[in-house]
Amino acid sequence: MLLLAGLGNPGRAFAGHRHNAGFRAIDAIARVHRTPPFRARFQGLASEIALGRERVLLLKPQTYMNESGRSVGEAARYYKISPPEIVVFHDELDLPLGKVRVKAGGGNAGHNGLNSLSAHLGNDYRRVRIGIGHPGDKALVHSYVLSDFAKDDTPFAEALFEAIAAHVELLADGKDAEFQNKIYRAMEKAGPGKEAV
């Protein structure tokens, strides 16, 4: 079984924030693949689907970003899912909007959601880093991640989440490089948003 977890903060007030890119990726996957309704489980909202040959648990922790590991850890223990079978979708300041990178393990670059996951799971889970761009000044990062995408960038961001959903089966098959390539090509067609330049 594979666990796909999106990181974000629960509640309507946070829904459109850049920091909720992980939730938005999971929501797009659920919409495109017509998953059953999410229900409260593992201190989060969960649904199960099949992607290719894989049974997959979709999870949106409701513990707030900084405690994401509590929810993901609980689900992983319940299903006995090892870290390499966990894929975490999260926002990434160090990538421009529209870029996606997949990696296994590594550092957390100060991302509090990843810090929490690593505390509960170790570092060997896979990460889908969803570029949200950087405000250019470290002092502006907090307000930047906790605000919505710029109006001109919203269609580009939506195209990114749709591309992730359309090609997520490649992640389930372990074809990370092919997944990245498909996203790259899809976003080339979509054209850049202002934050992507």
Residues annotated catalytic, as ranges: 19
Calculate ∠ Cα 3-174-6, nearest 5°. 35
CA pair distance 130, 89, nearest whole angstrom:
7
Backbone angles phi, psi at 179, to 5 degrees: -60, -50
CA pair distance 161, 176, nearest whole angstrom:
16
Q: Is the Cα torsion angle 101, 191, 146, 95 positive or negative in sign?
A: positive
Spacing of C-alpha 191 from chain mean position: 21
CA pair distance 170, 56, nearest whole angstrom:
13
